[in-house]
Amino acid sequence: MTKLGRSVLSHDVNVSQLPRKGRHVRIEPQSADLLCLAEEHGLVSVDRFCADLLLAPWKRDGVRVTGSVTADIVQSCVVSLEPLPAKVSQQLDAVFVPERSKIGRIGEETGGELLLDPEGDDIPETFTGHTINVGALCVEFFELALDPYPRKPGVAIETSDSGSRDTEPVPSPFQKLAQLKREN
């Protein structure tokens, strides 16, 4: 993941004094924000977006964010460009630590090299101050769930074979080289 910055759905949560059981956060943007979200991601529309999150203490001063992001969207079919309704459902699980934390500085002592286990957990994100922008986090997980090439069922790209049967096949470059060799 990238450093969480400002987003259409910015929603800062103060995590300085989280309850032991955590804090529930629900994000349901209004129609103007949904319109901006659709525009930002090249969608026809975002009809509904909902994020249900739990922010809980993690280790000494970290924060674990778990939950889900769901949305009803309309994308354009990559073949016919017709509107294609879709549902997005993505589970979210991320860990944040303060910048001053030892875990947040992993790799600095070894010249910036990190050894990562592809099957292991992601390394924690860092945050500054006492707030985490969970709205931007939700948008990142929403992006991951989008189909990059949405296609309506049964729609296929038409191919044209016109003229290919009436003309002679084009010789390969190797056939041309063999012919030049024979001529010399």
Q: What is the pLDDT of residue 2?
A: 43
The domain spans of the chain are 12-162
Q: Which residues contact 94 (CB under 8 A, 6 or more apart)?
A: 1, 64, 65, 122, 125, 137
Pairing relation of β-strands 125-127 and 83-98? Answer: parallel
**Can you tell me the distance from the alpha carbon of 90 to that of 143, in angstroms, rounded to the nearest whole number?**
10
Contact by Cβ (8 Å): 133, 12: yes
Written as tens digits, the pLDDT of the chain (184 aa) is: 444 555 678 899 999 888 999 999 999 999 999 999 999 999 999 999 999 999 999 988 899 999 999 999 999 999 889 999 999 999 999 999 988 776 655 555 556 666 667 777 777 888 888 899 999 999 999 999 999 999 988 877 776 655 555 567 787 888 888 888 888 7
pLDDT at 157: 76
Alpha-carbon distance values, 39 to 31, 34, 75, 77, 163 (Å)? 12, 9, 11, 16, 42
pLDDT at 166: 57
Q: How many CB atoms lie within 10 A of CB 134?
A: 26
pTM for the full predicted model: 0.73
Q: Which residues does 48 contact at the CB level (< 8 Å), separation at least 6?
A: 34, 70, 71, 72
